[in-house]
Structure 1
Amino acid sequence: MSNSLRITGMATGMDTEATIKQMMKPYTMRVDKMKQDRQIVAWRQELYRDILSDTANISKTYFDILKPDTNMLSKNSYAGFDVTAANSIAGESAGVSATTSVGAVAGNYSVNVVNLATAAKVDGAAINESKNSFVGENWKNKTIMFEIGGIQKSITTNDVVPTRDQLILDIKAKLEAKTELAGKINVSQGLGDGIKFSALINDSVKVVSTDVVDEMNNVTGKVINANKYTTKLSDLGIVVGGTLTFDYRDSKGVTKKSNPITVSKDATISQLTDAVNQGTSGAVKLNFSELTGKFSLESLETGSSALLKVTEDGVTGILAKLNLTIPAGGVAPTGVDATVKITPPGTGASEITVTKPRNDFSIDGVNYTLTKSSTINNITVTGNSQKTYDKIKGFIDKYNELVDKINEKTDEKKQYKYLPLTDEQRTAMKEEEIKQWESNAKQGLLKGDSNLENMVNTMRSAFFQSVEGAGISLSEIGLSTSQVISQKGKIMIDETKLKAAIETRGEQVANLFSKQSTTYSSYNSDATSIERNTRNKEQGIFQRINDILQDYTKTTGKKGLLIQKAGIKGDITSLLSVDIIKKDEKINEMIKNLSVRENSYYLKFSKLEVAMNKLNSQSSWLTQQLGGGN
């Protein structure tokens, strides 16, 4: 409504402001009613989102594969054991670590790591060392150009045919005589009889040119203190470029060939290693060490079946420039299998030799990770039902909290006499009074909500329908439904019974909760009722709960029912968000109409003032005329 300052009622003597306010009241009440309706919708959305937040926390904590310690969909979470590993020699670190999964046997294991599994691999020579023989004649009166921090400085050798020792002394003296080069470069004998330059400072130092026979690529050091992010392949002598193609085996043992990987002379060392690693989907790793100045090439897969073959385009000699020597045919030396000798627990148990293509593997519920060849390691597996019990109870507690909250909201009696406060009512109340009033006004807004009631009922059914192939029931492990009517759907735990089941029937307990459907292995929001029923029967309880939460809270693709209703923060497409937007538009329209109506009232009263002024003036004139006649 208008905030203009008006002076009215001077002629009529009427309280125009109060009169118009009273006349406007039926219309302002309609606006207040619409604002109250809008607030109720917003509160309902808040209540839904609060429940959505609780379900999201459950999913993130207990159904996330990236959180193996609490992921209740993995059978490994039900392994009730503690594992310790130690080398038989005091002070020596163990050459193996271990964890357990369902089916492990408690006891002492003796593990002797004979050798680790290795990859197919080629180690290169340092790129800053020459492989050519020293030829003194080539170094007579020759110029060598260095680049330090982007600045180029040169020296010229003596006009005599030097021995290698004389040349080294001569170059050192010339370097020390140059202020820009003094104390920054060392000169020594390289591989083969060549000359090696190495940096004494952290700057990137390069030999950029020389008039020595065959240029810098073969006689002088190639690159000094190479930085993998800034050193270009042209610095290594790759001036043409080309392609590399790799044959390898993936994690499933399938032989694959990469697409040709382009090698550009303008690329950096880092860009080359990234191109190889990404071009083979990580199955081949090209590494470079700034510390040693060496490249290495290896397969991701280890063991005797690991394959690494590299094919150049035939003309560029890229690998030679990297100082990587691949055997004939481009096939790297194959890896070897891990060999380990294990003596399981039990009286009279004998040592068993095991070969595996990888350094991590599982046998009889024990997951081994080999870290080094070593003397005998002692692994102790001890039963610990408390650990698994705590995980199951942790989930049940959060589940019960969610059920309690939903039951409270769907059973809550609505307080009809408490409506959202109008602006006028709010200004007349204290802050604490407003909070208490709104708390009462929010009660019962989700009473009898069919979505929430159906979600709780479906989750309750998920607990007590039998799991095909589990071999155990919920009652057998000490879980039951609360007998208190108000706690419908809440799960109670018999601690003694559950711990006993974990210790004696661990495999069956794991299946009861985490078994996966063999017919329909993944969740599908568009599955038919028959497909859903089949998947549900074959799944463990927590797998079912995960499906139900997705049915109601999924935020991508086909959205869950509660997400469709309330959305997440920032979502304006949900049903309640759309309703709020429409009500906001209606409120704005009504407020504009109020202003127009109020102005029209003031205009009418203004005309009345004008008429009354005119009437008063005529009356005064008439009075004067009558009085003058006497």
Structure 2
Amino acid sequence: MVGIRVGGLASGMDIDQMVSDLMKAQRIPLDKINQKKQFTEWQRDDYRSMNSLLFDFDKFMFDGVMKQGSYLKKTVSILNPDAVSIKNINSTIDFSGTIKVNELASAATMSSKIPTSITDSTKKLSDFGVAAQQITIQAITKEGGLQTEPYTLTIDPTVDTLDSVIAKINKDSGVTAFFDTTSKKLSISAKNSGDIASSAEIILTDNGPGGGKFFNDVLQLNTNNDLAKINGVGKEGVNASVTYNGFDLTRSSNTFQINGVEFTLKKKTDPEIVSFSSSPDVDAIMDTVVKFVDKYNEAIDKINKKIKEDRYRDFQPLTSEQKKELSDKEVEQWEEKAKSGTLKNDSILSGSLNKMRLDLYGSVSGTSSFKQLTEIGISTTSNYLDGGKLNIDENKLRAAITNNPNGIYELFQKSGTTTEEKGLAQRLREAIKSTMKDIETKAGKSTSVNNTFTLGRILDNYTNQITRFNDRMMQVEDRYYRQFTAMEKAIQRANSQSNYLMQQFSN
């Protein structure tokens, strides 16, 4: 702790200002260390921004040109789209055929035989004499079979209302229940359509006491929809019936797949036969490839600019004292120059660019069709200043998509054991991951501890130097004050002696 200093009483000098001026010269080496530390921090941050750029590009490739679904997009022509909708799911080839809708699938339903004794669905069930009990529900599944694990619900009539029970059933079981407050009847329908030949599609079971069973006695429901149908308060589920390319098929749902193509039935067409055919959705597939090219060009443009950025060595990071002497605008302009060139001619980034270019322009061996980007209309620009940006011949790319979209997928995504056998996107991802690893070794991540990466260890060293230098500066400053204090004391003694002599001479 520094005590209060009062100097210059004897000499009349501004000791604090003199010490401050002397310390400015002493602080010059410390300012240089702080400037080096600041520049290293900027360099670390710029490395990390490059890693974020590469990570985004890598993810963009994975979600775009490397997804087979990107090339399976098809335009489907249907003679009667009001009756049937068709979309491709995973068929790699074009398809065509005919379909006739003989019957639409529908869900099984059932309802109360007579009005229930429940007059208010918001009141507790105990108000209507309902006993505590357990109920179970089995219903048809999406696959067209009966649930093997029934839905089970324990009813607490002191807590539950009919509305709360219905809410639980609708949320977790295979049926949907609805209470009509006017007729006081409950309606239940299966969530999935279709017919189970060997069983009912909805089966209700309760174990309440005699005369108090929830489904049978309280809600006046049959134990299953087949019995409800006999009693005139229910119906069976119905399977969809179609004639596909002359072959009769049944499905439990109006939406189903055949050979990777999804059909959704909307209405009966019998006796009309609906024809359909598909072709590649050239615009959608082209959009995927174009976006990849744009993202690649954006990435190499930003990396190129960073490694070619000028380094202004006359513009060193500003110290806190220097910032005080400048306006905010001047500080901003200065630091724009000072931050420039942190990654100029960086070997990691320039090496990565070269590797990416080589990987992208090389041939892919073992493909069934396209082996190079130029074969699908993608080449480098003629201007060497672009740094290897890609250019698209739209007509050639459209033709390649029209003729063989899966061949383009193979060009990008083909797997292999050697670089030559791997698809272009596979190679790029490997190059990107290698670069990101090298950058991480040098600049770490936002969560990294300084001693785990190169620049972090350099920053720790600067911090230690600054700490030691500050300790030494305090010693130097203290020495200056001690010297000036000694001078003040000497002047004070000289003044005292002079006053004494003058006094003696006067006597």
User: SS of the counterpart of 2:341?
Assistant: coil
CA deviation map 1:457-494 (0-9, x unaligned): 55445533526555322232122345665555533322
**Partner Cα distance (1:549, 1:111) in 2:** 48
* 1:369 equivalent in alignment to 2:264: yes
Cα 1:45–1:502 change in 2 (3 A) is same
Aligned with 1:239 (options 108, 128, 131): 131
CA deviation map 1:236-278 (0-9, x unaligned): 7653233647587676x99974487452413566875776688
Letter in 1 for 2:45: E
CA contact (8 A) 1:105 1:365 kept: no
CA deviation map 1:90-136 (0-9, x unaligned): xxx813323346655488x76543333456x45443xxxxx5xxxxx
TM-score scaled by length of structure 2:
0.73
Residue matched to 1:621: 500
Percent identical among aligned pairs is: 27
* 1:504 equivalent in alignment to 2:403: yes
Cα 1:31–1:465 change in 2 (3 A) is farther
Residue matched to 2:231: none
Letter in 2 for 1:359: N
Cα 1:470–1:277 change in 2 (3 A) is farther
Cα 1:42–1:105 change in 2 (3 A) is same
**Partner Cα distance (1:300, 1:505) in 2:** 39
- 1:195-344 aligned within 5 A: 220=117, 222-224=118-120, 226=121, 239-242=131-134, 244=136, 257-258=148-149, 261-265=152-156, 266=159, 284-289=173-178, 294=186, 296=188, 298=190, 312=205, 314-315=207-208, 317-320=213-216, 321=218, 325-327=222-224, 336-341=238-243
**Partner Cα distance (2:283, 2:375) in 1:** 18
* 1:114 equivalent in alignment to 2:107: no
How far off its partner does 1:501 sit? Answer: 0.7
User: SS of the counterpart of 2:301?
Assistant: helix
TM-score scaled by length of structure 1:
0.61
How far off its partner does 1:620 sit? Answer: 1.7
CA deviation map 1:205-242 (0-9, x unaligned): xxxxxxxxxxxxx6x3x153x46xxx666577653233
**Partner Cα distance (1:489, 1:305) in 2:** 65
CA deviation map 1:395-436 (0-9, x unaligned): 211111102212332344544333212223333344444334
Cα 1:261–1:589 change in 2 (3 A) is farther
**Partner Cα distance (1:583, 1:322) in 2:** 80
* 1:440 equivalent in alignment to 2:337: yes
Residue matched to 1:521: none
Cα 1:383–1:542 change in 2 (3 A) is same
How far off its partner does 1:329 sit? Answer: 11
Cα 1:462–1:365 change in 2 (3 A) is farther
User: SS of the counterpart of 2:34?
Assistant: helix
Please list every run of 5 or more consecutive structure 2 residues that lacks an aligned counterpart in the other structure. 228-233
Residue matched to 1:423: 320
- 1:371-386 aligned within 5 A: 371-373=266-268, 381=278, 384-386=281-283
**Partner Cα distance (2:171, 2:438) in 1:** 40
Letter in 2 for 1:418: F
How far off its partner does 1:43 sit? Answer: 1.6
In terms of fraction of residues, the more helix-rich structure is 2
Cα 1:31–1:111 change in 2 (3 A) is farther
CA contact (8 A) 2:311 2:342 kept: yes
**Partner Cα distance (1:593, 1:271) in 2:** 76
**Partner Cα distance (2:406, 2:259) in 1:** 12
**Partner Cα distance (2:198, 2:56) in 1:** 42
**Partner Cα distance (2:496, 2:304) in 1:** 75
User: SS of the counterpart of 2:174?
Assistant: strand
Letter in 2 for 1:33: K
**Partner Cα distance (1:39, 1:297) in 2:** 69
How far off its partner does 1:440 sit? Answer: 2.7
Cα 1:301–1:513 change in 2 (3 A) is farther
CA contact (8 A) 1:236 1:322 kept: no
Please list every run of 5 or more consecutive structure 1 residues that lacks an aligned counterpart in the other structure. 65-70, 88-92, 126-130, 132-190, 195-217, 344-350, 518-532, 554-559
**Partner Cα distance (1:50, 1:80) in 2:** 34
**Partner Cα distance (1:420, 1:23) in 2:** 23
- 1:32-181 aligned within 5 A: 32-55=31-54, 57-58=56-57, 63-64=62-63, 71-79=64-72, 81-83=74-76, 87=80, 94-100=82-88, 103=92, 105=94, 111-118=99-106, 121-125=108-112
User: SS of the counterpart of 2:417?
Assistant: helix
Aligned length: 484
CA contact (8 A) 2:378 2:392 kept: yes
**Partner Cα distance (1:42, 1:254) in 2:** 64
**Partner Cα distance (2:139, 2:419) in 1:** 43
